[in-house]
Structure 1
Amino acid sequence: MDVEVLGRVLSTLPPDDDHPYRTGAWQGQTTEWRADDLDVVGEIPADLDGVYLRNTETALHPAIERYHPFDGDGMVHVVGFRDGKAFYRNRFVRTDGFVAEQEAGRSLWAGITEDPRSAEREGRGARGRMKDASSTDVVVHAGVALTSFYQCGDLYRLDPLTLDTLGKSDWEGKFPSSVGVSAHTKVDPHTGELLFFGYGKDAPYLHYGVVGSDDRLLHHTGIELPGPRLPHDMAFTENYAILNDCPLFWDAELLKQGAHVPRFHRDLPLRLGVVPRRGGDVRWFEADPTYVLHWTNAYEEGDEVVLDGFFQEDPMPKFNGSTDNRERVFRGLALDRLGTKLHRWRLDLVTGQVKEERISDSVTEFGMINPVHGGRSYRYVYAATGEPGWFLFNGLVKHDLLTGAEERISFGDGVFGSETVLAPRLGSTGEDDGYLVTITVDMNRNLSECLVFDARNLATGPVARVRLPERVSSGTHATWAAGESLPDWRKTDDAASALGL
Structure 2
Amino acid sequence: MKIERLPPVRTSLGHTNHPYMTGAWTPQHEEVNAWDLKVLEGAIPTDIDGVYLRNTENPVHAPLGRYHPFDGDGMVHQIEFRDGQATYRNRFIRTRGFEAEQEAGESLWGGLADGPGTSKRPGFGAHGSLKDTGSTDIVVHGGEAIATFYQCGEAYRLDPLTLENLGVAAWAPLDGVSAHPKVDEATGELLFFNYSKHAPYMHYGVVDASGKRTTYQAIDLPGPRLPHDMAFTKNYSILNDLPVFWDQNLLERDIHAVRLHKGVPSRFGIVPRHGGPVQWFEAAPTYVLHWLNAYEDGDEIVLDGYFQENPTPRPLEDAPDGHGHLMAYLDEHSFRPKLHRWRFNLKTGETTEGHLDERILEFGMFNQQYAGKPYRYAYSTTAKPGWFLFNGFVKHDLETGESWSIQLPEGRYASEAPFAPRVGAVDEDDGYLVSFIIDENQGTSECVLVDAKRFEVVCRIALPHKLSSGTHSVWAGRDLLKPLP
Other structure's SS at 1:462 match: strand
Per the TM alignment, residue 325 of structure 1 is displaced from its structure 2 partner at its CA by 2.4
Q: Note the 1:175-194 alignment, pairs <5 A.
A: 175-177=172-174, 179-194=175-190
Identity of aligned residues (%): 55
Q: Which residue of 1 aligns with 2:167?
A: 167
Query: What's the CA shift for 1:321?
Result: 5.1
Amino acid at match of 2:141: H
1:85 is aligned to 85
Counterpart position of 2:121: 121
After superposition, the C-alpha distances for 1:47-82 in whole angstroms (9 at most, x for unaligned) are 000000000011112211100000001000110100
Q: Counterpart amino acid of 1:185?
A: P
2:429 matched to which residue of 1? 432
- Aligned partner of residue 484 in structure 1, secondary structure: helix
1:297 to 293, 298, 313: 293
How far, CA to CA, are the matches of 1:145 and 1:9 in structure 2?
22
Q: 1:8 is paired with a residue of what secondary structure?
A: coil
Give the letter aligned to residue 36 of structure 1. Answer: W
Asked whether the equivalents of residues 315 and 327 of structure 2 are also in contact (C-alpha less than 8 Å), the reply is no
Name the counterpart of 2:420. Answer: 423
Residue 482 of structure 2: aligned partner:
487
Aligned-partner Cα distance in 1 for 2:316–2:164:
44
Q: Is the 8 A contact 2:338 2:358 kept in 1?
A: yes
Secondary structure in 1 aligned to 2:17? coil
Residue 330 of structure 1 and its aligned partner are, at CA, apart by: 2.1
2:261 and 2:419 mapped to 1: Cα distance?
36
Tell me how far 1:279 sits from its aligned partner.
0.9
For residues 184 and 374 of structure 1, the distance between their equivalents in structure 2, rounded to whole angstroms, comes to 14
- Partners in 1 of 2:201 and 2:222 — Cα distance? 8
Amino acid at match of 2:32: W
Contact preservation (8 Å) 1:116, 1:128: no
Amino acid across the alignment from 2:120:
E
Deviation of 1:435 after TM superposition, in Å, equals: 0.5
**Equivalent-residue separation in structure 2 for 1:292 and 1:439 (angstroms):** 25
Q: Secondary structure at the match of 1:25?
A: helix
CA distance in 2, matches of 1:321, 1:362: 23
CA distance in 1, matches of 2:165, 2:220: 34
Matched letter for residue 276 of structure 2: G
Match in the other structure for 2:270: 274
Three-state SS of the structure 1 residue aligned to 2:193 is: strand
What amino acid maps onto 1:250 in structure 2? W
The answer to whether the Cα contact below 8 Å between 2:24 and 2:440 also exists between their aligned partners in 1 is yes
How much does 1:405 deviate? 1.3
Once the two structures are TM-superposed, the CA of residue 188 in structure 1 deviates from its matched residue by: 0.4
- Partner SS for 1:145: strand
Per-residue CA distance 1:431-487 (angstroms, 9 max, x = gap): 1000111001000111100000110112xx421111100010112200000012212
Per the alignment, residue 496 of structure 1 pairs with none
2:457 is matched by which residue type in structure 1?
Answer: P
Alignment partners' CA distance in 2, 1:329 and 1:365: 18
User: CA deviation digits over 1:93-152, x for unaligned, max 9?
Assistant: 000000111111211011011124211011211010210000000000000000000000
Secondary structure of 1:360 counterpart: coil
Q: How far apart are the structure 1 equivalents of 2:458 and 2:344?
A: 40
For residues 292-349 of structure 1, give each alpha carbon's deviation from its aligned partner in whole angstroms, at most 9, with x where no partner exists. 0000010000000000000000001112556842112221111111111000000000
Query: Counterpart of 1:355 in structure 2: which amino acid?
Result: T
Does structure 1 conserve the Cα–Cα contact (< 8 Å) formed by 2:418 and 2:434? Answer: yes
Q: Which residue does the alignment assign to 1:372?
A: 369
Distance 2:93 2:473 in 1: 15
Q: Which residue of 1 aligns with 2:305?
A: 309
Q: Which moved more, 1:304-313 or 1:36-45?
A: 36-45
Residues 391 and 414 in structure 2, CA contact (< 8 A), matched pair in contact too? yes
Q: Does 1:26 align with 2:25?
A: yes
**Quick one: distance in 2 between partners of 1:324 and 1:55?**
27
Structure 1 residue aligned with 2:388 = 391
Q: Which residue of 2 aligns with 1:8?
A: 8
Equivalent residue, structure 2, for 1:401 = 398
| Separation (CA, whole Å) in 1 of partners of 2:393 and 2:116 | 37
- In the alignment, does 2:94 pair up with 1:97? no
1:362 is the counterpart of 2:359 = yes
The TM-score with structure 2 as length reference comes to 0.98
Stretch of structure 1 that moved more, 265-274 or 346-355: 265-274
Alignment partner of 2:466 out of 432, 455, 471? 471
Task: Give the match for residue 333 of structure 1.
Answer: 330
| Structure 1: distance between partners of 2:316 and 2:385 | 15
Q: How does 1:346-361 map to 2 (within 5 A)?
A: 346-361=343-358
Q: What is the alpha-carbon distance in structure 2 between the residues aligned to residue 412 and residue 466 of structure 1?
A: 17
- Does the CA contact (< 8 Å) of 1:212 and 1:218 recur in 2? yes
Matched letter for residue 436 of structure 2: I
TM-score (norm 1): 0.95
Report if the CA contact (8 A) 1:242-1:275 is conserved: yes
1:462 aligns with 2:461: no
**The residue matched to 1:363 in structure 2 has which SS?**
coil
Are the aligned partners of 2:51 and 2:476 in contact in 1 as well (CA < 8 Å)? yes
SS at match of 1:485: helix
Look up the match of 1:246.
Answer: 242
Q: In structure 2, what is the Cα distance between the partners aligned to 1:223 and 1:207?
A: 5
> 2:228 maps to what in 1?
232
Instruction: Say if 1:7 and 1:33, in contact at 8 Å, map to a contact too.
Output: no
Structure 2 residue ranges without an equivalent (≥5): none
Could you list the runs of 5+ residues in structure 1 that have no partner in the other structure? Answer: 489-501
Deviation at 1:186, TM superposition (A): 0.2
Q: Supply the distance in 2 between the matched residues of 1:24 and 1:321 (Cα, whole angstroms).
A: 20
Q: Distance in 1 between matches of 2:474 and 2:352?
A: 31
Code of the residue aligned with 2:187 in structure 1: it is: T
Residue type of the partner of 2:12? T
Which residue in the other structure is 2:449 paired with?
452
2:317 and 2:438 mapped to 1: Cα distance?
31
1:20 alignment partner AA: P
For residues 383 and 264 of structure 1, what CA distance do their matches in structure 2 show?
26
Runs (4+) of structure 1 exceeding 3 A deviation are 320-324
Q: In structure 2, how many angstroms separate the alpha carbons of the residues matched to 1:354 and 1:26? A: 40
Deviations 1:389-440 (A, max 9, x none): 1010011111111111111101211000000011000010011000111001
Contact 1:437 1:451 in 2 (8 A): yes
| Count of aligned pairs between the two proteins | 481
Aligned to 1:499: none
Answer yes or no: is 1:265 the counterpart of 2:261: yes
- Distance, in Å, in 2 between the alignment partners of 1:5 and 1:93 is 17
